[in-house]
Amino acid sequence: MPKKSLTDAAVQRLKPPPKGQVDHFDMGYPGLALRISYGGGKSFVYFYRIGARLRRMTLGTYPAISLAEAREAWRDARQDVKAGRDPSQARQYGRGATDFKNVAAEWIVRDQAKNKSRRIVARLLDVNVLPFWGHRQIADIGRRDVLDVIDGIVDRGAVITARRVQAHLHRLFAWAVGRGIVAVNPLSNLPKPGSEAPRERALTDAELMAVWQGADELGWPFGPAFRLLILTGARRAEIGELRWSEIAKIDGRGEIKLSGDRTKNGRPHIIPLSTLAAGVVENLPRVGDSEFVFTVDGKKPISGWTRAKAKLDKLAAIEPWRTHDLRRTTATGLQKLKVPLTVTEAVLGHTTGSRAGIVGVYQVHNYADEKRSALEAWARHIETLLGQRASNVVSLTA
């Protein structure tokens, strides 16, 4: 039985045996192995003992499950073994299990499958709830237990986190009631702690120009990505994960066409490219034959926004701000330019506000021309600011 420290490259490179199957054990992860059959199929398996009996559990097939995900599944299964439970029975996404950890895992899979923030939700529970309730029976968790967890989060100064954890737990328990796992929801009518004031940070024109200049100094790939965020009002993931196939020219004018699986509200969204934005796109390098516009290795979209933002902060040297504030800044700028609210919301891809409810059902106008005019006006405003800055003997590359 081969034993080595597995890597993503090794998993991809390992060849099948001439017959039968071979298990490549992952050094440092006792019992975890990559099983390769003579036909070329690969799967991650976990060997463990319950009592004196050796058992095997399939964690998933490769590449549907990555090495990192297999190791995470191994950690969870190993915890079950340490607690005296058979993971192959207790861990089919929590199927049939009634402890909080496995019920929460099943809830993530079944109820949160279409939630694009499901990993964030899972992480919130992992950090703030599972250390206290992980292996408790969910039916034994009462209102007092909930308050202890929520109050503990508040006491460490994380009120917003406490409110979000409470909201997720409320939905989880409501789902569990519907599934017959618990009889009552201990969070019913439980007031949320504190208040979550919406952010109102929009950059001033001077700050916006400082960020624009800083983005130029930041360079590829994050510099032009930040500039497109400013020019389009798009969300970070919409630009950061942009594909070349999503950029099109209609009647000689550029636009970004996002399918529903790339937007927060699940609806297709078209972002017209102003002349200035189109210029940014046309000057972007193409990394090999990668489908992604912003990529370093050609295989996946850019990551490391936090580090890039920290560098940009040093270059721009303005009051603290968040990347999402650029979206708010664009929206605020459009309003200052007297763009109608309905058009601003169409630019942002919002389905709330003036486009919510019955209006959203019957108002099907896509505002394509109005959105293009609005973003062109916004681009001209930025160009005016660039010209003013240049006249003050500040060199800028627009």
**pLDDT tens figures, 13-38:** 999 998 889 999 999 999 999 999 98
| Whole-Å CA distances, 112 to 122, 150, 187, 192, 208 | 9, 21, 19, 22, 37
Q: Is residue 7 part of a domain?
A: yes
- pTM for the structure as a whole: 0.56
Question: CA 80 to CA 77: how far, in whole Å?
Answer: 5
- If DSSP codes are grouped into helix, strand and coil, which group holds residue 387? helix
Task: Indicate whether 124 and 219 sit together in one domain.
Answer: no
Query: Has residue 396 been placed in a domain?
Result: no
Return the CATH number at 231. Answer: 1.10.443.10
Segments forming the whole domain that contains residue 237 = 205-391
368 domain-assigned? yes
* pLDDT score of 200: 77
**Same domain, residue pair 246 and 352:** yes
Contact 374/326 with Cβ under 8 angstroms?
A: no
Q: Residue 271's pLDDT is what?
A: 96
Max alpha carbon distance in the chain (Å)?
81
Q: Is residue 398 part of a domain?
A: no
Q: Tell me what pLDDT residue 210 has.
A: 96
Same domain membership, residue 141 and residue 238 = no
Same domain, 70 and 116: no
Residue segments in the chain with a per-residue pLDDT below the cut of 70: 1, 83, 89-97, 196-199, 251-252, 351-364, 389-398
Rounded to whole angstroms, the Cα distance separating 91 from 365 reads 48
Please report whether residue 282 resides in a domain: yes
pLDDT at 363: 47
Q: Looking at the structure, do residues 5 and 120 belong to the same domain, yes or no? A: no
Amino acid code (one letter) for 230 = I
Nearest alpha carbon to residue 249 among 381, 164, 372, 111: 372
Domain count, the chain: 3
Among the three residues 85, 100, 126, which one is the final residue of a domain in this structure? 85
In this structure, the answer to whether residues 225 and 335 fall within a common structural domain is: yes
Residues 190, 364 contacting (CB under 8 angstroms): no
Is 110 a member of any domain?
yes
Q: Is residue 18 part of a domain?
A: yes
Looking at the structure, tell me whether residues 238 and 143 fall in a common domain: no
Q: State the chain's mean pLDDT as an integer.
A: 87
Q: Residue 364: inside a domain, yes or no?
A: yes
Strands (E), the chain: 3-4, 21-26, 32-37, 42-50, 53-62, 247-250, 253-258, 269-272
pLDDT for position 362:
42
| Axis crossing angle, helix 305-316 with helix 205-218, rounded to the nearest 10 | 120
